[in-house]
Structure 1
Amino acid sequence: MLGFSIYLSAAVTEEVKQQIDLYKTSGFHGVFTSLNLPEDDPEVLLDRLGELGAKCQSRQLELTVDVSQQALERLDLSLEHLSEITELGVTRLRIDDGLAMEQVAQLSHEIPLALNASTLSVENVDELRKNQADFSQIEAWHNFYPRKNTGLDENWFRRRNAWLQAQGFQVTAFAPGNELRGPVFAGLPTLESGRTKHPLAAAIDLLRLNTNNVYIGDAGVHLTTLIQFVNYFDQQIVMVHVKPNGDVPKYLFNNRLWHQRPDVARDVVRIEEARHVKRPAIYPENTELRTRGAVTLDNQDAGRYEGELELVKRELPADQTVNVIGHVVQRDLDLLEVCGAGQTIQLAWS
């Protein structure tokens, strides 16, 4: 499942509600927010939560709220009176630390819960089982890490998720957005390796590392990025935006869908169909240095490789048999690394 974040430090305006509508129609099913905002007026915070909850209910979106015991006390809310919380439209509570597993087990029969995926211990799980927790109501959610260099290590993350899933938990983690949230403005990823990545590439990385659900941690993504999410999760298409370098053969346009070959190369994404497409002769032109992201077409001097279409993943020297016909835009370069065997690819020329 895909989700996004809406923060209550600002009002839930009509613009925010339109943003929620756009995410919903784009295939996102969950919303994350936090009540751990000590600088905000409690009454204002609850009013905004109620507005957000009502909007989520109207669009059938799950609303997960990050809470702490301290935040609940400040807002004059109690886990012993859950109706006060659920009436605000909250469908899941993410509880970090500080709550006894016995109480978590009891709450799991009343409302879906999310526990801290990074700190949940074997002893915690044993306590949950001992107290007959409803494991179908409990998920494991990782944190996001605003401070640079503090995000999780990929290998540890993969092993951790495998263990959590073996205990019966669904695992959720965060990818960064395009519209970075303050006050640090360094992205809100779970993995340090995802901090500066394209949000879709970061999301795909999380899914490949034993993650069940991915949420955008930051305040939002650009419309072009949202379209890329829709293309990938609805149709399994990786769309990359390309700036042409001179005249590009017309047969490469028309929203044609290409596929990466089943034998994945180290240095380039090789397009399987390109050499077999009916096309005019390709004369040598722009046979220059192939930087990362270069889109190349082999010319007639390449012999039987004429028409070979590639997307370059790492810098390669100039080759008199290879024309550089365009460049993947900077923001989409990370998407080259997620193109696996047989991946459907769309080149969006701009």
Structure 2
Amino acid sequence: MDNGISLYPGLDNTPDENLLLLAKAARAGIRRVFTSLHIPETNVEALKKELGLLLKAARHRRMEVISDVSPATLKLLDLPEFNPTAFRMLGITTLRLDYGFTAEDIASLTHRFPEMRFQLNASTITHRLLQDLKDAGTDFARIDALHNFYPRRGTGLSEPALVHANILLHRYGIRVGAFVPSQDGRRRSPLKDGLPTLEEHRDEAADLSARHLVALGCDSVVLSDSLPTDEEITALGQLQGDKITLRAHLMTKDPVQKKLLAHAFTSRLDEARDAIRAQESRPLLKEMKAVILPDNTTMRPIGAITIDNRDYGRYMGELQIIRTPQNADARTNVAAMIDKSECNLLQYITPGRKFSFQFDTETDII
């Protein structure tokens, strides 16, 4: 995934803090940097001094730099007119186009400036605009989209609004990203109330929020606040977009079950009412040429990860995530439990969707 961090020169961080943030992000495998150049509270003189240094450092690490464009941006950078080449020379590689650009303008830009990428505002996208872009001959290979973030509490998007926009964009082959706020790092001025795309993420752990966005169809996630923690940066660098990852706690010490739980799975197409059934678990167990003995055959609450033992005959190795509470069964082991805060993600493991588990420590799954 092309995930990112945000930099706000001239605002909250010192130049050294921003350079260190860039270095940490690059080491974590993060390849995008978002910056906004028209925040009213920014110290303009400090921004002008710092911007070139930060852009040079990002270019040295081969990171994509995304900047939104407005009349204030042109004035700040002493540009007489909108010219993508001038932005490219500064080290900005992607321009986020919002108000003031018609479909014809955007289509023209994608052909006239092949060295640049252009980004739509995913939060205000409409079917009409997308169709107009197509009719105007836009090169969609040079386009992606990014949702807004919302500094004021109570103004973030709803989940249905984000999903609707993502579906529209994906119909046209456009990848889409969104923002998550930091919870334990430095939040951006002036409100310091987080910068989420979804309102429900304002006070939620960044790692969980990021995995929720993936479940909702986002192709990239950007940490939006000024100085996220090392843990948040690392988690974003490890984020995978091809499956839903669930944090869980092991309930077994059996090496066979632990080895099975380390795999990624696909939810079966014939969806069960009471559980998510893994398509690959029984064939995988056969490949392992192993036997699962009865172990922790307790009650199965919502979020229990179960594996059928040898007493279930040909179902041995059947892995499920429980959706509806079920009584104990001596033929079924409770191998692990989804963290309660993660159970909301179960609804997105639809038929054919891939999923995997992330356990408390690396040694848990060895």
Task: Check whether TM > 0.5.
Answer: yes
Distance in structure 2 (CA, Å) of the matches to 1:87 and 1:75 = 12
Per-residue deviation, 1:71: 4.2
Q: CA RMSD in A?
A: 4.1
1:202 corresponding residue in structure 2: 213
1:21 corresponding residue in structure 2: 26
Note closer, same or farther for the CA distance 1:12–1:279 as it changes in structure 2 (3 Å cut).
Answer: farther
Are 1:279 and 2:287 an aligned pair? Answer: no
Distance in structure 1 (CA, Å) of the matches to 2:23 and 2:281 = 40
Residue 217 of structure 2 aligns to a residue whose secondary structure is helix
Q: Counterparts of 1:79-118 in structure 2 under 5 Å?
A: 79-80=81-82, 85-98=87-100, 109-110=112-113, 112-118=117-123
1:324 corresponding residue in structure 2: 334
Assess if the C-alpha contact under 8 Å between 1:43 and 1:75 holds in 2. Answer: no
Which has the higher mean CA deviation after the structures are superposed, 332-341 or 91-100? 332-341
Distance in structure 2 (CA, Å) of the matches to 1:134 and 1:258 = 35
2:253 aligns with one of 215, 231, 248: 248
Distance in structure 2 (CA, Å) of the matches to 1:52 and 1:305 = 57
1:311 corresponding residue in structure 2: 321
Per-residue deviation, 1:250: 1.8
Q: Structure 1 vs Structure 2: percent identity of aligned residues? A: 26
Note closer, same or farther for the CA distance 1:134–1:281 as it changes in structure 2 (3 Å cut).
Answer: closer
Q: How many residues align?
A: 332
1:216 corresponding residue in structure 2: 222
Distance in structure 2 (CA, Å) of the matches to 1:117 and 1:37 = 20
Structure 1: state its 5+ residue gaps.
208-212
Note closer, same or farther for the CA distance 1:164–1:88 as it changes in structure 2 (3 Å cut).
Answer: same
Per-residue deviation, 1:4: 0.9
Note closer, same or farther for the CA distance 1:227–1:319 as it changes in structure 2 (3 Å cut).
Answer: farther
**Residues 253-304 of structure 1 deviation map (CA, whole Å, 9 limit, x = unaligned):** 2474253452343443333424755225315x3613x333322344566566
Q: Which amino acid is 2:272 matched to?
A: A
Per-residue deviation, 1:40: 1.6
Q: Counterparts of 1:8-157 in structure 2 under 5 Å?
A: 8=8, 9=11, 10-13=13-16, 14-23=19-28, 26=29, 28-74=30-76, 76-80=78-82, 85-98=87-100, 109-110=112-113, 112-119=117-124, 139-147=144-152, 150-153=155-158, 157=162
Note closer, same or farther for the CA distance 1:287–1:159 as it changes in structure 2 (3 Å cut).
Answer: closer
Q: Which amino acid is 1:3 matched to?
A: N
TM-score under structure 1 length normalisation: 0.73
Note closer, same or farther for the CA distance 1:79–1:105 as it changes in structure 2 (3 Å cut).
Answer: farther
Distance in structure 1 (CA, Å) of the matches to 2:137 and 2:271 = 48
TM-score under structure 2 length normalisation: 0.70
2:275 corresponding residue in structure 1: 268
1:210 corresponding residue in structure 2: none
1:293 aligns with one of 303, 307, 313: 303
Structure 2: state its 5+ residue gaps.
none
Distance in structure 1 (CA, Å) of the matches to 2:64 and 2:150 = 23
Residue 216 of structure 2 aligns to a residue whose secondary structure is helix
Assess if the C-alpha contact under 8 Å between 1:91 and 1:112 holds in 2. Answer: yes
Assess if the C-alpha contact under 8 Å between 1:140 and 1:169 holds in 2. Answer: no
**Residues 204-235 of structure 1 deviation map (CA, whole Å, 9 limit, x = unaligned):** 4224xxxxx42324245626633642xx35xx
Assess if the C-alpha contact under 8 Å between 1:117 and 1:171 holds in 2. Answer: no
Distance in structure 2 (CA, Å) of the matches to 1:343 and 1:287 = 27
Assess if the C-alpha contact under 8 Å between 2:246 and 2:355 holds in 1. Answer: no
Q: Which amino acid is 1:48 matched to?
A: E
Distance in structure 2 (CA, Å) of the matches to 1:310 and 1:122 = 39
